[in-house]
């Protein structure tokens, strides 16, 4: 024997209406539960996709960091060689520059003198 939420018998018209309200509320709860379940599923899929994307981006950043380190090492070695080149034989470069300038002025003097 079933009883309504109000505790009355099955012949009372208010209790049969109580069962209808209860069923309507249950159906609405089921509908809301299914909507919530689908939204949670979408959020779960989205968060998993975001996790995969974050992992890919971290891998790319790691590769880029390694490439920058390699380039930095290469640039450091080049700067070291350039520094050694500029420190050694600097006086010789000034001598060559002075001789070149003197030669150019001499050529210009000869050309102007011959006119």
Half-sphere exposure of 4 toward its Cβ, with a 13 Å CA cutoff?
A: 17
Q: Count other C-beta atoms under 10 Å from residue 4's C-beta.
A: 17
Q: Is residue 6 part of a domain?
A: no
Boundaries of domain holding 64:
13-88
Number of compact structural domains in the chain: 1
Distance CA 19, CA 25 (A): 10
Q: Is residue 65 part of a domain?
A: yes
Q: Is residue 103 part of a domain?
A: no
Q: Is residue 4 part of a domain?
A: no
The alpha-carbon radius of gyration of the chain (Å, integer) is 45
Q: Is residue 34 part of a domain?
A: yes
Q: Is residue 109 part of a domain?
A: no
Distance CA 40, CA 46 (A): 10
Distance CA 91, CA 43 (A): 72
Q: Is residue 100 part of a domain?
A: no
Name the pTM for this structure.
Answer: 0.46
pLDDT by 10s per residue, the chain, length 115: 344 444 444 444 445 566 778 899 999 999 999 999 999 999 999 999 999 999 999 999 999 999 988 888 888 888 888 787 777 666 677 788 899 999 999 999 999 988 7
Q: Is residue 108 part of a domain?
A: no
**Are residues 9 and 15 in contact, defined by beta-carbon separation less than 8 angstroms?**
yes
């Amino acid at each position: 024997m079933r009883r309504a939420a109000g505790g009355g018998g099955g012949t009372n018209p208010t209790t049969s209406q109580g069962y209808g309200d209860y069923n309507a509320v249950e159906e609405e709860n089921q509908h809301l539960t299914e909507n919530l379940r689908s939204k949670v599923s979408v959020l779960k899929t989205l968060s998993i996709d975001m996790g995969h994307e974050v992992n890919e981006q971290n891998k790319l950043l790691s590769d880029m960091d390694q490439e920058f380190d390699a380039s930095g090492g290469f640039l450091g070695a080049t700067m070291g060689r350039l520094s050694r080149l500029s420190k050694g034989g600097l006086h010789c470069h000034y001598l060559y520059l002075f001789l070149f300038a003197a030669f150019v002025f001499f050529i210009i003097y000869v050309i102007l003198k011959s006119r």
